[in-house]
Amino acid sequence: MEKGKQIIFCSGIINIIATYALTWFTMGLFRIGFANGIGGLKTLPDLFIHFQDYIDYYEVPFFVIYLFAAMILIFLLSGVLQILVIKKKICGIIGSIMPVVISIMILIAVIFNLSPDILKYLELFVDYSPLVRSIIPYNYAIAGRPESIGTYVLLAGSIMGVVGCVLSREEY
User: Above 60 in pLDDT, residue 21?
Assistant: yes
Q: Identify the pLDDT of residue 159.
A: 92
Task: Assess if residue 21 is contained within a domain.
Answer: yes
* Global pTM value: 0.84
User: Above 80 in pLDDT, residue 64?
Assistant: yes
Q: What is the mean pLDDT of the chain?
A: 82
Q: First vs last Cα of the chain: how many Å apart?
A: 13
Q: Identify the pLDDT of residue 146.
A: 74
Phi and psi at residue 138, to the nearest 5°:
-80, 125
CB 78 within 8 A of CB 19: yes
CB 114 within 8 A of CB 29: no
Task: Assess if residue 172 is contained within a domain.
Answer: no
Q: What is the pLDDT of residues 99-130, one digit of tens each?
A: 998 889 888 888 887 666 667 788 888 888 77
Q: What is the pLDDT of residues 65-89, one digit of tens each?
A: 888 899 889 888 888 888 887 777 7
Structural domain boundaries enclosing 54: 3-167
Count of the separate structural domains present in the chain = 1
Spatial separation of the C-alpha atoms in residues 49 and 40, rounded to whole Å: 15
Task: Assess if residue 84 is contained within a domain.
Answer: yes
Q: Angle, to 10 degrees, between the axis of helix 37-49 and the axis of helix 3-20?
A: 70
